[in-house]
């Protein structure tokens, strides 16, 4: 066979492999407004940078060799904003992107590449689960065993998008990732509705089993919900722009937009003076952060606590902020989990933390105890104690109880400032008055007022500053400048901004 003949044979094989599940299946996806696996890859990587690996992989079941191009997984490397990354795109047009020993080998190679060379791995999850009969029997199960397949050491970021039906490994990768985005209309679950119905003898609705409302608002297993494939890919690119390629380098910096901080002069107007009045902390955060840099995470889950990646002075910062708009900012069990998730990610990838505080304490009661609030609180405290990146705290208004410590109070943060409107105490003075003096405003107004005056004594920002419980009392308009200066002062200069990563093996869900 001469060179031209070899070229022709190779071209024919490539054409067959690139055809995926065939024109009819690809056309149906296009009509439904869904990108196919290769289109998702094209949207992810900078143009012309994708190098595919495993194009000629196929099922090792003889009858399936000609019908499993790339064995249902498109894998390779490319660049995202100039930085290397690897990717796995499940090709649903090939046997429902079901997983086999060969396709698992391809996925493991992408993970190994990312780990060894220090760059992110992106999963475009869409799969019916394992491929049967490939996996049936002892030999099939033995070939799927891998003790490190889902080991998360957070050496480099894992990112996932959930599309269509995502069962089995597609779900595992999504929940193990540092960031997961969920397209509406998709379903993520351990098993398919059909299998669940067979096992439980009950009809199961796919949305109730694992739709966007379940995982976006109730379980918190996904970080963002979007409408389209293109939005999901764009979210992944944006998320990665805040993170380093691996945990041995500092996060990238960005140019500061000229109008950043322009709203600081009026920031106090966003926060009502009365501690009982609600407001949306996200509006405050938008003024503090660089213009248009707020990237909120888990916005539908535990809304009483806002978590986000932002840039302040061009630097990536992770934010944990109470949001009085929801539950008055009281912290419940879900909010604890949400906070710990943010602590773990930021400490693992050298991202400084900012706490914006306005909270009345932990949400207590029968339901709170049933949700293991005590365990959740101590999980948070344990994680916070292990954080090694710079921590900056700004107290805006009320700050009561044990949550004072969890939200970066006193010595748990490196730099702590209080707005001159802050009030800090073990308990809201009104509640304290009722407990200590046994009176209410209705039962004995005068006695209540006398008791309240006593209970509110020593709760101002200047009182806690007098014992050096905060480092500064600041004009709210100076908040952004305080944070920028604190990030400079507490930068880990001896290690070029690299933390100790004591949380990198923390469980992804708990």
For the chain (510 residues), the mean pLDDT of every run of 10, in chain order, is: 91 90 93 95 98 92 86 96 97 86 90 96 89 65 63 93 90 94 95 76 84 95 97 99 98 96 95 93 98 98 98 99 97 98 98 98 92 95 98 96 93 96 82 74 78 74 94 98 97 94 89
Whether residue 133 has a cis bond before it, omega within 30° of 0: yes
Query: CA torsion, points 396, 397, 402, 403, in degrees to nearest 10?
Result: -50
CATH architecture of 262-422+460-495: Alpha-Beta Complex (3.90)
Domain 3-242 class in CATH: alpha beta
Nearest to 275 by CA among 332, 322, 308: 322
* Cα 75 to Cα 41: distance, rounded to the nearest angstrom: 9
Q: Residues near 320 by Cβ (< 8 Å), separated by ≥ 6?
A: 305, 306, 307, 339, 342, 343, 353, 354, 355, 356, 407, 408
Residue 55 burial class via C-beta count within 10 angstroms: exposed 0-12, middle 13-18, buried 19 and up: middle
Contact 398, 279 (CB under 8 A): no
Q: Which helix (H) or strand (E) holds 281?
A: helix 281-288
Contact 125, 239 (CB under 8 A): no
How is residue 236 written in tokens?
């992944």
SS3 content of the chain, % helix, strand, coil (to 5): 45, 20, 40
71: left (phi over 0), alpha (psi -120 to 50) or beta: left
* Cα 385 to Cα 503: distance, rounded to the nearest angstrom: 10
Contact 371, 362 (CB under 8 A): no
Q: Residues near 290 by Cβ (< 8 Å), separated by ≥ 6?
A: 254, 256, 257, 260, 261, 310, 311, 312, 313, 314
* Cα 108 to Cα 414: distance, rounded to the nearest angstrom: 40
Which residue carries 């009483």 as its tokens?
A: 304
Query: What ranges do the domains of the chain cover?
Result: 3-242, 262-422+460-495, 427-458
Nearest to 82 by CA among 115, 123, 48, 124: 48
Helices 429-437, 445-455: crossing angle, 10 deg rounding: 120
* End-to-end CA gap in the chain: 59
Residue 362 DSSP label: B
Nearest to 163 by CA among 89, 79, 109, 108: 89
Nearest to 168 by CA among 77, 234, 76, 73: 73
Beta bridge partners of 88: 75, 123
Claim: this prediction has a pTM higher than 0.85: yes
Pairing of the two strands 179-183 and 73-80? unpaired
Helices 229-242, 37-44: crossing angle, 10 deg rounding: 40
How is residue 173 written in tokens?
């990768």
Q: How far from the centroid of its chain's Cα atoms is residue 381's Cα? A: 19
Q: Rounded to 5 degrees, what are φ and ψ at 334?
A: -65, -40
How is residue 363 written in tokens?
């949400």
Please determine whether the domains at 3-242 and 262-422+460-495 fall in the same fold group of CATH. yes
Q: Residues near 397 by Cβ (< 8 Å), separated by ≥ 6?
A: 271, 275, 324, 358, 419, 421, 422, 423
Q: Rounded to 5 degrees, what are φ and ψ at 356?
A: -110, 120
pLDDT of residue 486: 97
pLDDT of residue 142: 63
H helices then E strands: how many in the chain?
A: 19, 16
Contact 422, 399 (CB under 8 A): yes
Q: How far from the centroid of its chain's Cα atoms is residue 209's Cα? A: 22
* Cα 389 to Cα 392: distance, rounded to the nearest angstrom: 10
How is residue 134 written in tokens?
């490939």
From residue 431, alpha-carbon distances to 177, 329, 373, 448, 509 in Å are 42, 16, 21, 11, 35
* Cα 110 to Cα 119: distance, rounded to the nearest angstrom: 10
């Amino acid at each position: 066979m001469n060179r031209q003949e070899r070229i022709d044979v190779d071209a024919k094989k490539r054409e067959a492999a690139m055809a995926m599940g065939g024109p009819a299946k690809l056309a149906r996806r296009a009509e439904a407004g869904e990108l196919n696996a290769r289109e998702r890859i094209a949207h992810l990587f900078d143009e012309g940078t994708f190098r595919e690996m495993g194009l000629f992989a196929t099922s090792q079941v003889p009858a399936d060799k000609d019908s499993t191009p790339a064995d249902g997984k498109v894998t390779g490397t490319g660049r995202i904003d100039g930085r290397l990354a690897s990717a796995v795109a499940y090709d649903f047009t090939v046997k429902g992107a079901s997983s086999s020993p060969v396709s698992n080998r391809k996925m493991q190679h992408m993970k190994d590449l990312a780990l060894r060379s220090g760059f992110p791995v992106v999963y475009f999850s869409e799969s019916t689960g394992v491929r049967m009969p490939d996996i049936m029997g002892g030999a099939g199960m033995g070939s799927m065993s891998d003790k490190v397949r889902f080991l998360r050491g957070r050496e480099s970021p894992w990112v996932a998008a959930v599309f269509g039906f995502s069962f089995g490994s597609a779900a595992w990768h999504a929940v193990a990732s540092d960031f997961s985005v969920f397209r509406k209309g998709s379903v993520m679950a351990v098993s398919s509705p059909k299998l669940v119905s067979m096992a439980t003898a009950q009809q199961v609705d796919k949305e109730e089993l694992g739709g966007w409302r379940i995982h976006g608002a109730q379980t918190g297993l996904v970080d963002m919900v979007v409408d389209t494939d293109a939005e999901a890919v764009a979210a992944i690119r944006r998320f990665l722009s805040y993170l380093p390629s691996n945990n041995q380098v500092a996060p990238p910096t960005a140019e500061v937009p000229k109008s950043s901080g322009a709203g600081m002069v009026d920031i106090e107007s966003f926060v009502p003076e009365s501690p009982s009045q609600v407001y949306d902390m996200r509006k405050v955060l938008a003024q503090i952060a660089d213009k248009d840099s707020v990237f909120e995470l888990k916005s539908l889950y535990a809304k009483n606590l806002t978590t986000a990646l932002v840039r302040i002075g061009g630097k990536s910062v992770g934010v944990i902020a109470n949001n009085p708009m929801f539950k008055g900012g009281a912290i419940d069990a879900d909010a604890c989990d949400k906070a710990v998730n943010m602590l773990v990610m930021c400490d693992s990838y050298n991202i400084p933390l900012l706490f914006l505080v306005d909270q009345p304490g932990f949400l207590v009661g029968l339901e709170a105890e049933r949700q293991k609030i005590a365990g959740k609180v101590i999980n948070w405290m344990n994680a916070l104690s292990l954080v090694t990146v710079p921590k900056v705290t700004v107290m805006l208004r009320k700050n009561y109880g044990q949550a004072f410590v969890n939200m970066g109070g006193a010595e748990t943060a490196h730099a702590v400032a209080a707005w001159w409107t802050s009030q800090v105490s073990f308990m809201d003075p009104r509640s304290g008055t009722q407990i200590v003096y046994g009176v209410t405003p209705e039962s004995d107004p005068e006695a209540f007022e006398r008791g309240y005056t006593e209970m509110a004594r020593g709760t101002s920002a200047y009182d806690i500053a007098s014992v050096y419980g905060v480092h500064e009392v600041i004009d709210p308009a100076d908040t952004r400048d305080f944070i920028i200066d604190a990030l400079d002062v507490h930068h880990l200069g001896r290690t070029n901004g690299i933390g100790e990563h004591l949380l990198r093996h923390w469980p992804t869900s708990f």
